Amino acid sequence: MNILFHPELDTELTQYGIQIPIKDDRSEKVFEWLNQNNHSIESFSLSQLPQIREEELLLVHNAEFVRRFLDKDLVHGELIKAYELINDKGEYNRYEPVLAKKQLSQMVPSIFKQVAGTLMASELALQNGFCYFLGGGMHHAMSFGGRGFCPLNDMAIAIKKLMFDKKIKSAWVVDVDAHKGDGTAEIFQNDDHVKTLSIHMKRNWPLDGPMYDKEGSLNPWFISSDIDIGIERGEESLYLKELKKGLDRMLSWGKPDLVIIVNGADPFEADELPSTSALKLTLEQLFDRDMLLYNFFEKNNIPQSYVMAGGYGARSWEVYAQFLDEVLKLREVKFS
Ligand SMILES: [Zn+2]
C-alpha cells in the first residue's frame, strides 16, 4: 500500500468549534483527484490501524502530560493549550464553542488515529520503501505537551515504537513544513539515533515569547534541530539548493533505517494561514522540493514515510496531489 487514506481520519476541527483554516476535506480531495487520474489506490479498514495506548505515549511524552491527556476532564485544558484557543487576555482565540457539535475531549480518539496512521505508514514504508499517510504531522508537540495545533507528536511516537519493537535502530525526521519542527527537535535533542532536519521560514515561529526566560534558560521552542535551515523573506530561490546541502550533510553522518518526511504544504504562496506569509514557494518549486526528497531517498535506499502536516486554505491539496501523481506513476513503472 503506497497511500494510506481513510475519510474518517480527517480531524474535522470545525466540528469542535475550532476555526483554523485547514479544509476538513483536504485529504479526501487528494484521494479523489488521484483516483480520477487513473491511479487505483487500495483502501484499508480502520481495524488495520495499530493500537496506540498509554505505553506508546510514554515512549515520547512525560508522565504528567500523559496522565492529563488520558483524563477525560483534564484533556480539555490540554487541547485548549495545544490549539491555542484562549489568548493571553483570557479571550477565545479562533474558537467558537457555541458552533461546536462535539466536546473538545471527544477529539481524543481521532488524535490517536492520526498517531496510528503515522505508525502504520512508517511500517509500510519499511516493507515497501515508500508510504504516504494522508494525515499526521503534529511536529510542534513537545515531550511535555502540545502546542501549535499539535496535541501529540505522531512522528516521534512512531519512531520510538518502531525502535522499541526492534524494527529500526535509527531514523531521520526531515521537516519541510513552513514552521520549524520544534517539538521534534526538543524530543530528540539528546538522542543519537534520531537526526532531525528542519527547513522553514526564518521568522514567524515561534509566534511569540523570548528566546530565553528570566532565569536564562532557553525557550524550548528555540531548541535546535541537528540541521536548521532558516529561509529569509525573498530568499525562495535558494530553497532547493539549501535543502539539498542539508540532506547531503545528514547522509555524511550515516544512513538511517527510516526517514519520516513532515511534508507540509504551507510554504505554498497560495497558503491562507497568515503566519506562513514569510515563505512563498510556487507550486512548481514545491513539486521540485518533493521530487528532490523522493529521489534522494530512493537513490540512497532509505525507506520513506510521509505525513501531511500544515497546509491551509482552498488550494493546499494541489501540492500533495501533484507530488503523489508523479510518485505513483514512477512506482507503477518500477513495479510493473
Ligand atoms: Zn506549518
Question: Which CATH number characterizes residue 122's domain?
Answer: 3.40.800.20
Half-sphere exposure of 125 (CA within 13 A, CB side): 31
Question: Percent of the chain scored above 70 by pLDDT?
Answer: 97
Tally of structural domains, the chain: 1
Question: At 47, is the secondary structure helix, strand, or coil?
Answer: helix
Kindly give the distance from the C-alpha atom of residue 333 to the centroid of ligand 1, in angstroms, as a whole number.
33
Cβ proximity of 34 and 328 under 8 Å: yes
Mention every residue, 6+ apart, whose C-beta is less than 8 A from residue 169: 163, 193, 257
Kindly give the distance from the C-alpha atom of residue 309 to the centroid of ligand 1, in angstroms, as a whole number.
7
Q: Please write the tens of the pLDDT for every residue from 147-181.
A: 988 999 999 999 999 999 999 999 999 999 999 99
Task: Output the CA angle 85-88-91, nearest 5 degrees.
Answer: 55
Nine-digit cell string for 166: 526492534
Q: Compute the distance between CA of residue 258 and CA of residue 267 in angstroms, rounded to an integer.
A: 24
Mean pLDDT of the chain: 93
What's the pLDDT band for 208 if we cut at 50, 70, 90?
low
Q: Compute the distance between CA of residue 165 and CA of residue 220 in angstroms, rounded to an integer.
A: 29
Answer yes or no: is pLDDT of 88 > 90. Answer: no
Q: Please write the tens of the pLDDT for every residue from 297-336.
A: 999 999 999 999 999 889 999 999 999 999 999 998 776 6
Kindly give the distance from the C-alpha atom of residue 276 to the centroid of ligand 1, in angstroms, as a whole number.
7
Averaged pLDDT for residues 109-116? 95
**pLDDT score at 19:** 85
**pLDDT score at 42:** 79
Q: Please write the tens of the pLDDT for every residue from 116-145.
A: 999 999 999 999 999 999 999 999 999 999
Kindly give the distance from the C-alpha atom of residue 308 to the centroid of ligand 1, in angstroms, as a whole number.
10
Q: Please write the tens of the pLDDT for every residue from 7-31.
A: 888 777 889 999 876 666 889 999 9
Kindly give the distance from the C-alpha atom of residue 285 to the centroid of ligand 1, in angstroms, as a whole number.
17
Kindly give the distance from the C-alpha atom of residue 181 to the centroid of ligand 1, in angstroms, as a whole number.
9
What's the pLDDT band for 207 if we cut at 50, 70, 90?
low
> Which H or E run includes 289?
helix 283-299
pTM to 2 decimal places: 0.95
**pLDDT score at 205:** 67
Kindly give the distance from the C-alpha atom of residue 183 to the centroid of ligand 1, in angstroms, as a whole number.
12
**pLDDT score at 50:** 96
Kindly give the distance from the C-alpha atom of residue 137 to the centroid of ligand 1, in angstroms, as a whole number.
9
Question: Percent of the chain scored above 90 by pLDDT?
Answer: 78
Kindly give the distance from the C-alpha atom of residue 100 to the centroid of ligand 1, in angstroms, as a whole number.
24
Task: Give the structural domain span for 214.
Answer: 3-334
